[in-house]
Amino acid sequence: MTRTSEKRTAARYEVERRLAPHVDETWAEAFVIELRLLDVAGDALGAALAEVESHCVESGEPAADAFGDPVAYARSLDLPTQREGRWDAVTVLGPVGTQFVGLLVLGWGVSSIVLARREGGVDPSVEVTFGMVALLVAFEVAILLFYRHSSAVLRRVLDQPVVSLVVLTALMTAFAVGAVLLDGVLVTLPAWPVAVVGALVLVAGTVWSLFQARRGTLEDPILSPVPTAGTIDEGRATRGPGERLLAASVTWIVPLFALASLGATWLLAGR
């Protein structure tokens, strides 16, 4: 195994190796993923993993022999799930929803400006169509449905990744085609203010996401009920490489996509 692959493996199984070093890491990973899909809180999940670790240490028996299939065992525990707060949906979906609205509005404004520049001296304007509004509404509804049924969707993605990718591609294509076909104009707006508003909305969503990441609003760390000295503080204050990468991806993927799409628009449409 190369040093790079060793680092990737260590990052992948960081939680399992830290909390259950005597449990087969692939078994522990499947166990943790299933409990996460069941929406079990991090402290309860850590306690369940600690019980498996304790049994394996005391008996010397592999987890697969003692508890069987990790997914079936996780389901059999019937652990309490997390209760949803009144504003949880806004907290989770707010930043990405705001970013996406800003991305679309900014793209509409900039593309109109670039096209007007190519045509020479024409005052740029954005014709807001039924399809554009429908695309915004469809996306917001889609992320809300994903939030409400996230466990079932993620389970399907893990079980059938290829089929899930095909379905996602088909939905995105349907959204794009619908936006093009519904071309009735609702209102015409000057492009520069539209672009500025879109940029401000995108920045607001990004700042919101950064604020949440800094405060750890969405974090639910997996903690052992009997940690060594300092482990709780360290577990709450620091995150593994995979968790840091995921948090950064959630925050920056939409702004980076915005920059890439604006660059492409400038290069292609601006000629």
Question: What does the pLDDT look like over 36-69, one tens digit per residue?
Answer: 888 888 888 989 999 999 999 999 999 999 999 9
Q: Residue 7 is encoded by which pair of tokens?
A: 């680092």
pLDDT at 268: 65
Q: State the DSSP H helix or E strand holding residue 157, giving kind and residue range, or none if neither.
A: helix 150-159
Q: Which of 259, 176, 217 is nearest to 94 (CA)?
A: 217
Give the residue-averaged pLDDT of 98-106.
92
Check: CB of residue 101 under 8 Å from CB of residue 204. Answer: no
Rounded to the nearest 10 degrees, what angle do helices 241-268 and 191-215 cross at?
170
Task: Kindly report the backbone phi and psi dihedral angles of residue 183, in degrees, each rounded to the nearest multiple of 5, phi listed first.
Answer: -100, 10
Give the residue-averaged pLDDT of 192-210.
93
Question: What does the pLDDT look like over 162-199, one tens digit per residue?
Answer: 898 898 888 888 888 888 899 899 999 999 999 999 99
Query: Looking at this protein, which amino acid is placed at residue 111?
Result: S
Question: What does the pLDDT look like over 228-268, one tens digit per residue?
Answer: 434 444 444 345 555 555 566 667 887 887 778 777 766 66
Give the residue-averaged pLDDT of 213-233.
61
Q: State the DSSP H helix or E strand holding residue 125, giving kind and residue range, or none if neither.
A: strand 125-129
CA atoms within 13 A of residue 79's CA, in its CB half-sphere: 25
Task: Pick 15 or 104 by higher pLDDT.
Answer: 104
Check: CB of residue 60 under 8 Å from CB of residue 26. Answer: no
Least confident of 18-27, 79-88, 120-129, 163-172: 79-88
- Mean pLDDT, the chain, integer: 82
Instruction: Kindly state the DSSP code that residue 182 receives in the 8-state scheme.
Output: -
Give the residue-averaged pLDDT of 101-119.
88
The pLDDT confidence band at residue 210, using thresholds 50, 70 and 90, is confident
